[in-house]
Structure 1
Amino acid sequence: MKIVFMGTPEFAVPSLEALIDEFGVEAVFTQPDRPKGRGKKLAMSEVKEVAVKHNIKVFQPENLKKSRENIEELKSMNPDFIIVVAYGQILSKEILDIPKYGCINLHASLLPKYRGAAPINWVIVNGEKVTGNTTMFMDEGLDTGDMLLKSEVQVTDSMTAGELHDILMKQGGELLLNTIKGIVDGTIKRTKQEDEKSCYASMLSKETGRIDWNKDSKQINNLIRGLNPFPVAFTNYNGEVMKIYEAEVLNENTNSKPGSIINVSKKGIKVATASGVLLIKKIQFPSKKPMYVEDYIKGNTIDKGDIFTS
């Protein structure tokens, strides 16, 4: 079995490792090394680190579609499969047609829902109760190819995007192995996506995290959970940006103006919303570390009656 793997971030690592253990991997394509950290030193992607560790040949084209050299190299490998997990580049039809069995993508949603760049985050922001992974044959569209296998995950009311990411990341490898075996032995039925049931999970920006206190407490809490650990939901307090990492919806009502601080205690900051009360538990101010409210108020003040602004 000749497999070429294309992926970049941590999410792709368990899938790559599963493929190495089960079949071996001929080559890895990943994004070019990028500056990271305060020192802006060039750093390898998480996928490249695994490939180097296993002495697998690594290719890092800036734009694979436009790199004749890399495309010809791919053709010369004559792969059975190209497996793609969060690679970060669009593949041309010429590349999609190279492998014997096709290009297989692992996508972190139950397609056709949440096609696009940030499915894990938007599933939580939108209050979904179930999500999962989907494997599919790739075509020229964005996550539009025929579906192969799915695995489901229940989304709890307290789960963050980071926690859901880790669950889906660990499950992805097994789903890919089962997909490859099922394609080779002919036991998997490919299913066309129903485009009318699709929705798009757009890229996140800092602005995505701006809290609108005129929404209800559950919607705001979903935003906080869905943007933890990145890019993090935020509000403004006394002219400073306050990031919010953790909160809880309380079974309380109030007539206070949305955004008003109702009470501050070791348990957290009670805030009025358009409907219900939210208890903010973990926060971060500029140049400070994230802290639980209990620890923050030991040396700082957050006053009852003040108002958070969007």
Structure 2
Amino acid sequence: MKIVFMGTPDFSVNALENIVKAGHDVVGVITQPDKPKGRGGKMQYTPVKEKALELGLDVYQPQRVKETEFIEKLKEMNPDAIVVIAFGQILPKAILDMPKYGCINVHASLLPKYRGAAPIQWSVIDGEKETGVTTMYMNEGLDTGDIIDKVVVPIDKKETGGSLFDKLAIEGGKLILKTLIELENGTAVRTPQDDSKSNYAGMINKQLGKIDFNKSANEIERLIRGLNPWPSAYTKMDGKTLKIWDADVDDSENDSAPGTITEVGKDFIRVATGKGSLKILELQLEGKKRMKTRDFLNGAKIPDRMEG
């Protein structure tokens, strides 16, 4: 099948590689423009661009896909299907209607649940027991198109946003191949989404990571996992930012005010919350490297409370 691939981050790379290995003719790879990074402001390729160049594919980086010049370029490519995975721009109707088999999106949730930009992190933060990947026909709405395929992925007890990202990227890379076969042989289904069962997984920002110890230990522990590795959950200790990378929940009752450090063990710091306690097992104080709590406690002076 002749395919145009649209994607930008690491999450998209596995699918691109699989599509090429499966023998499909990728006539163009569309990704976001390069951006400056670091103090030197050196322009950095997107992960998809890096992989596409490695595979010898033609790469296009339009500022806006709505531009007439770019749409004309796509028409010249004449793709049978356009595969879209975490591309980062909204496609106009002129592009959606272009390919024979349509524009096919790979989305990291079990639609209609968790439409939007950050379904992976929110599924962990919200305490879901499972999530997955969905392929769908794209329309002009936000992740509202008819569903083709799904694959379910359990969420482990200590799952992080990062570990789930990796699992779903692999599953998405497998699922798109199955979907392309179904499109080509005419067995692809169209299952309309039930909008009443949808919710929106809004974008993640650094402010979301600020820990509120008035919340339950369970909620805070899920936040820590969901925002690992980015942007991370954090509080303050003696006026310095303290990132918390790993913690366990202690459901035993305590009468201490939320944020109070109630115990310093050999390898943990116990903090009271609105319900239960949080045992901090891995952390990173501002200006220091990430470390296990047992290493942090060597010579560290621990205050009476966190400042979150």
Question: Contact 2:251–2:275 (CA<8 Å) still a contact in 1?
Answer: no
The offset of 1:184, in angstroms, is: 1.6
Deviation at 1:251, TM superposition (A): 4.0
Aligned-partner residue type, residue 307 of structure 1: R
2:229 corresponds to: 229
Distance change >3 Å, CA 299–CA 62, structure 1 → 2 = farther
Q: How many residues align?
A: 307
SS in 2 for 1:133: strand
- Which moved further from structure 2: 35-44 or 132-141? 35-44
- Looking at structure 1, the residues matched to 120 and 37 of structure 2 have their Cα atoms a distance apart, in angstroms, of 23
Looking at structure 1, the residues matched to 224 and 267 of structure 2 have their Cα atoms a distance apart, in angstroms, of: 17
Q: Deviations over 1:159-178 (max 9, x none)?
A: 10100000001111110010
TM-score by length of 1: 0.97
**In the aligned structure 2, how far is the partner of 1:69 from the partner of 1:45?**
22
Q: Is 2:147–2:190's contact at 8 Å kept on the other side of the alignment?
A: yes
Q: Which residue in 1 is equivalent to 2:259? A: 259
Label 1:296 to 1:257 Cα distance change in 2 as closer, same or farther (>3 A). same
TM superposition shift of 1:277: 1.2
TM-score, normalised by the number of residues in structure 2: 0.97
Query: Which residue of structure 2 aligns with residue 36 of structure 1?
Result: 37
- CA shift for structure 1 position 302: 1.4
Q: Secondary structure at 2:235's aligned position in 1?
A: strand
The one-character-per-residue Cα deviations of 1:26-71 (angstroms, maximum 9, x if unpaired) are: 1100011111234331110110011111111100011111x22111
Q: 1:220-299 alignment to 2 at 5 Å?
A: 220-299=220-299
Note the residue ranges of structure 1 that are not aligned, 5 or more in a row. Answer: none
* 1:152 corresponding residue in structure 2: 152
- 1:165 corresponds to: 165
Q: Which letter does structure 2 place at the counterpart of 1:69? A: E
Q: How far apart, CA to CA, are the structure 2 residues paired with 1:264 and 1:205? A: 31
Matched, 1:24 2:22: no
Q: Please give the per-residue CA displacement for 1:251-277, whole angstroms capped at 9, x wherever unaligned.
A: 422111111101112321101111111
Q: 1:207 matched to which residue of 2?
A: 207
Which portions of structure 1, spanning 4 or more consecutive aligned residues, are displaced by more than 4 angstroms?
none
What residue number does 1:64 align with? 65
SS in 2 for 1:26: strand
Local SS of the residue matching 2:5: strand
- Quote the Cα distance in structure 1 between the aligned partners of 2:297 and 2:38: 30
Q: Is the 8 A contact 2:249 2:277 kept in 1?
A: yes
Residue type of the partner of 1:155? I
- Residue aligned with 1:73, SS: helix
What pairs up with 1:86-165 in 2 under 5 angstroms? 86-165=86-165
Q: Following TM superposition, by how much is the alpha carbon of 1:186 offset from its aligned partner in structure 2, in angstroms? A: 1.7
1:163-202 equivalence runs, <5 A: 163-202=163-202
- Name the CA distance, whole Å, in 2 between partners of 1:37 and 1:281: 31
Secondary structure, aligned partner of 1:88: coil
- Structure 1 position 52 matched with structure 2 position 53: yes
What's the CA shift for 1:188?
2.2
Letter of the aligned partner of 1:6 in structure 2? M
> Which residue identity is paired with 2:223?
L
Is 148-157 or 248-257 further displaced after alignment?
248-257
CA deviation profile, 1:133-157 (whole Å, cap 9, x unmatched): 0000000111010011000011122
Are 2:86 and 1:83 aligned? no
Question: Which secondary structure does the structure 1 equivalent of 2:230 belong to?
Answer: coil
- Residue of structure 1 in register with 2:73 after alignment: 73
Q: Whole-Å Cα distance in 2 between the matches of residues 61 and 76 of structure 1?
A: 15
- Report the secondary structure of 1:16's partner residue: helix
State the shift of 1:286 in Å. Answer: 1.8
Give the distance between the partners of 1:87 and 1:32, measured in 2 at CA.
11
| Percent pairwise identity | 51
